[in-house]
Structure 1
């Protein structure tokens, strides 16, 4: 399954950015179990996708934790969902309303946070 999904990701990159050499594709994901599973890591190697090492978990470095989840929690607060499909539909709808510039801005902030992490040698730091 992971090989199929990774092949689809690589194909999507080729379609969206035909001038990008996917043989130099770098992937950054957290240290969650499914990402570290043997089948996943083997598929990544076979596809020639290099995985960047991720530091130990830190909410300061996880864009979903420091940006996306708070937005979604705020927008969906007080709403009840009887079915998981209804929740998924609401989340997808909210994600589509976030302007592209906000996603780009959070990526820039993420880069700053990574730099701060490197400068602090992985120690705790406050503020951005």
Structure 2
């Protein structure tokens, strides 16, 4: 299938994945040290919550480099609707710009089986795009 003059070529493959990136630095313990006398209580040092201080990044790329980079807005759940409307539109426009004659008709998408990737809205959108 991927032979020299076969029906598919490596530049037809688009792959992508997502990951969580924390965007804060936890201060080292020695910065929490302080002098207190016997009449005052020690200050309470709060650490930032891990759940509220990270963002999901999605990157789709092909043989020539990144096609789309999406940063999920804070306090937004990952859903198939967001995935289809925001991410696929970026991927489609990047592919159409790189390959105006073929567009997305020969594109093979390689990604895992996460919930938004295998949802009905996602598969219907991929079929409409010819991916």
Which bin holds the TM-score, normalised by the shorter protein? 0.3 to 0.5
TM-score by length of 2: 0.32
Q: Which has the higher contact order (CA 8 A, sep 6+)?
A: 2
More strand per residue: 2
**Which structure has more helix as a fraction of its residues?**
1
| Larger radius of gyration between Structure 1 and Structure 2 | 2
